[in-house]
Each structure stands twice: as C-alpha cells, then as structure tokens.
C-alpha cells in the first residue's frame, strides 16, 4: 500500500524585533525588546504554517544561527520527509543537533500545517477540548514597594496567580511579604529564582518563606541548572514543591531528574524541548513518574504563545495541568510583555485567559498592516 505524501514544504525565516511594554528582569538577564525569528512553512497547496524561535541567552540561540539552521539543514530535513502528517519530519527534527529554538519554530510550523490540512484548530488536532487556557502573571525582580504596586495592578486586572522573580540580592522574605499583602489570601503565589542561589542558601531562604506561612505553591529552579544533585538536595529539605525549569531540556534530562527525585514538578517549554513533538514526550514521562507539570514560555510573540497554549490544552480536557498543588494556571504570560503582534490572528489574551481561535491550525493569517516596521 502506497503511503500518502504531503506537499513539499519550503521554509522561510524572518528576523523580528518588537519592543516590550516594560523591562523584563530576572536573576540572569534584563530585556527591553523581543528578539525572535518567525518561520513560515509553505506547502505546494499554498498553506502557510507558522513557528517562532525566541532568541536569548536562555534559549542559547542566536538570530544568525537560527537563520542558518532553518534555511540549511532543517530545510533539507523537511524536504526529504514525506508522511502526510509530517510525522517523519517531526521525528527527524527531534534528533537534530540544531538549537531547541530553531527546532521549535519548524516543529510548530509543521504542526500548524498538519492541523490546517485536517481542518482543525491545532489544540483540537493535539487532542485538547478547551480553547481557553488560564495563565499566571510574572513580576520582574524588584524591591518590596515595586512588587506590591505591580501585584495590586495585576490582581485588579483579573490575575489570580502571581509568579515573582527573585535574585540573590535584597531580602526575599520582605519581597514576598509585600506581594502576599498586596495580593490578598486567595491569590496563588509562585517564586522563580532562575538559578540564583546555592543549594544551602536556597534551603535557608525557602525555609524562611515556609515559616512565614505565605502560601507559596511552588519554587522554580532555585539552583544552577547543571547540578541535579543540588536541586535534589533542596527538594529533600524543604516543604514547598520544587519545580525544575532550566535543568530539563531533553527526555534524557527528565529521566535523570526522575532517577534522582530532584524535583516535584517540571516546567515544559517548547523552546527548550525543540517543539511540540518532544514536549509531548516530556509530558507523558512526567505524568508516568507522578511529577506535576506546567507549560511555560520565553518572552514570545503571538506565534509562539499560540503554539504553547495549544499544546497546554492537549494535556487535559480543560487545559489546566496537574501540579503538586492541584490544578493550576499555566505559565504562559510571555506574550503579555510584547508591545504588539507581528502577525494577524492567533491566540489572544483576555486578562488571565488565553483564547485560542477556532480557525484551522494556529489561526494565524499574515503580518498586520503597518507591522512591517517591527520586522528588520
């Protein structure tokens, strides 16, 4: 029996820069613009699938490197794959040595094409039922007064889950007290240290936060990413659940984390995993090991957020993940930091809810009129 083939796919990458609405500050970086590469995958029938490769020190990708990868080895890989749902190309992408961000862009564009070909929104194509995904809101590193003001602004704006970036400077307890006081007792609080602490300091700080009874539901990546032993050291000694982020990029990373019982949850991001194909493997492995999970993102445009939210919707019927604290909002507020969208269509935010379109694929049509100035 002859296997059906998909129309040939041509990839086109476009560097894009969009100003942020405010600086994004963590323990490891400060950003004022979104630097990204948008990828269009066009098939012989004229369909266009969209993907995104966010550029930063975190993703370990450069614009030049992504452009070279997309127009070179990844284009060659896609050109030599011929299954109707792009399954062969997606599998080969997962084995590529190119950066996770570059692979994410092509993987998501191929998933977009496959869903369009099936005449289904991507979230339904992946098995999801709900087009509404709730998210937390991230607060940059700041002093207590700044954090209090930001918390009040976002809670008033409809957010019921706040994630606070902490670094190794200042007083973490004072900062989190200010956030809790501004948020009130019903708002969920998360902490993301972005590798800021040593293992011993992390235990000391987290224990102080526990003693203060601030109701923090998770501490994300308190120690450096290259030491799962340090992460396990912290996890064994504190009561607040610990979530791995930068420590888990691949399925092998997650296997090692599980073997060491190094964390209670994992933050799955498409730019780390290289797209939806591997992210799905990570989610299945985490679930089988009894780990909670959240779907996260970098600072990304509508393109990347639409793909990540579609993947998140596939994890359960209502798009809410299972975490150590029960069902909880995803970690997909990255698009709210971007001043404008470089495309038309796709996901949109309504306060703390991401609304996915009912159109086939990601529902992205083209760059909006006047947006060309944001594309270099």
138 is in an annotated binding site: yes
Q: Please say if 269 is a catalytic residue.
A: yes
Residues 56, 252, 271: CA angle, nearest 5 degrees: 25
52 is in an annotated binding site: no
Q: What's the chain's length in residues?
A: 376
* Tokens 């698009």, residue located: 335
Cα-atom radius of gyration of the chain, to the nearest Å?
20
248 contacts 283 by C-beta, under 8 angstroms: no
333 is in an annotated binding site: yes
Catalytic option among 60, 256, 269, 272: 269
220 is in an annotated binding site: yes
76 is in an annotated binding site: no
82 is in an annotated binding site: no
How far is 181 from 149, CA to CA, in rounded Å?
A: 11
55 is in an annotated binding site: no
44 is in an annotated binding site: no
112 is in an annotated binding site: no
How far is 224 from 2, CA to CA, in rounded Å?
A: 50
How far is 237 from 244, CA to CA, in rounded Å?
A: 16
- Contacts with 17 (C-beta within 8 Å, 6 or more apart), sequence order: 33, 34, 35, 36, 374, 375, 376
> How many beta carbons lie within 10 A of that of residue 199, not counting itself?
18
226 is in an annotated binding site: no
- Contacts with 355 (C-beta within 8 Å, 6 or more apart), sequence order: 131, 132, 347, 348, 349
> How many beta carbons lie within 10 A of that of residue 36, not counting itself?
31
Catalytic option among 60, 165, 256, 272: 165
Annotated binding site: 29, 138, 163, 192, 220, 245, 297, 299, 331, 333
Q: Active-site positions? A: 165, 269
Annotated binding residues for Mg(2+), as ranges?
192, 220, 245
Q: Which residues make up each annotated binding site for substrate?
A: 29, 138, 163, 297, 299, 331, 333
């Amino acid at each position: 029996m002859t296997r059906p083939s998909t129309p040939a796919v041509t990839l086109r990458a476009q560097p894009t820069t969009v100003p942020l609405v405010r600086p994004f500050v963590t323990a490891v970086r400060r950003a004022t613009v979104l630097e990204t590469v948008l990828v269009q995958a066009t098939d012989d029938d004229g369909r266009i699938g969209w993907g995104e490769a966010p550029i930063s020190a975190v993703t370990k990708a450069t614009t030049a490197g992504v452009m070279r990868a997309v127009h070179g080895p990844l284009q060659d890989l896609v050109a030599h794959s011929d299954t109707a749902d792009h399954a062969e190309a997606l599998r080969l992408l997962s084995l590529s040595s190119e950066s996770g961000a570059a692979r994410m862009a092509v993987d998501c564009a191929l998933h977009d094409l496959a869903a369009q070909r099936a005449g289904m929104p991507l979230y339904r194509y992946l098995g999801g039922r709900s087009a509404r995904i709730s998210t937390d809101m991230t607060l940059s590193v700041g002093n207590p007064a700044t954090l209090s003001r930001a918390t009040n602004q976002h809670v008033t704006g409809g957010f019921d889950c706040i994630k606070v970036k902490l670094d190794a400077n200042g007083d973490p307890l004072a900062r989190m007290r200010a956030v809790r006081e501004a948020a009130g007792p019903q708002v969920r609080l998360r902490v993301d240290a972005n590798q800021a602490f040593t293992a011993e300091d992390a235990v000391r700080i987290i224990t102080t936060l526990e003693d203060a009874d601030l109701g923090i539901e998770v501490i994300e990546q308190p120690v450096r990413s290259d030491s799962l032993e340090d992460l396990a050291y912290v996890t064994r000694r504190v009561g607040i659940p610990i979530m791995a982020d930068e420590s888990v990029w691949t399925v092998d990373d997650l296997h090692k984390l599980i073997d060491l019982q190094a964390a209670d949850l994992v933050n799955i991001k498409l730019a780390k995993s290289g797209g939806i194909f591997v992210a799905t493997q990570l989610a299945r492995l985490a679930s089988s090991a009894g780990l909670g999970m959240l779907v996260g993102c970098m600072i990304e445009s509508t393109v990347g957020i639409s793909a990540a939210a579609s993947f998140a919707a596939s994890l359960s019927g209502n798009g809410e993940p299972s975490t150590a604290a029960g069902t909880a909002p995803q970690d997909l507020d990255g698009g709210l930091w971007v001043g404008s969208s470089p495309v038309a269509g796709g996901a949109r935010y309504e306060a703390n809810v991401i609304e996915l379109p009912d159109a086939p694929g990601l529902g992205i049509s083209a760059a909006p009129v006047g947006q060309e100035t944001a594309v270099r």
